[in-house]
Amino acid sequence: MIRSASLCTLAALLAGCAAQPAGRVKMPVPVECRVRIPERPSMPTEALRLGVDVDRWVAAAQAELLLRDGYEAELVAALGECTEPVAAR
């Protein structure tokens, strides 16, 4: 009697597991960002000596602005690669 009750219980449990179809769960999975960090360029104003004339300092400052714009664009592109959503397959 106990054996048949145990068998019926086991059969009911197995039938309950088989009744539910296995579904696919779509869940975002964090992925490591493997973008190379751009190298910081040497800035022209950092190489100037103390007491340099105004014309050379202004020319170096203008060149530095262009370098910083390029460096900033590289940093924004690298950040965009890391924050862009992964395409669904």
Q: What is the pLDDT of residues 50-76, one digit of tens each?
A: 999 999 999 999 999 999 999 999 999
In whole angstroms, give the CA distance from residue 14 to residue 59.
Answer: 81
pLDDT, mean of residues 69-84: 90
**4 falls in which pLDDT band (50, 70, 90)?**
confident
pLDDT score at 1: 74
Considering only the C-alpha atoms of the chain, give the largest distance between any 2 of them, rounded to a whole number of Å: 105
Q: What is the pLDDT of residues 27-56, one digit of tens each?
A: 877 777 888 889 999 999 998 999 999 999
**What's the Cα-to-Cα distance from 31 to each of 34, 35, 39, 83, 84, rounded to whole Å?**
9, 12, 23, 10, 11
Do the Cβ atoms of 67 and 46 come closer than 8 Å? no
Q: Of residues 22 and 65, which shows the higher confidence score? A: 65
Do the Cβ atoms of 44 and 67 come closer than 8 Å? yes
Q: What is the pLDDT of residues 8-18, one digit of tens each?
A: 887 877 776 66
**What's the Cα-to-Cα distance from 65 to each of 52, 60, 73, 78, rounded to whole Å?**
19, 9, 12, 20
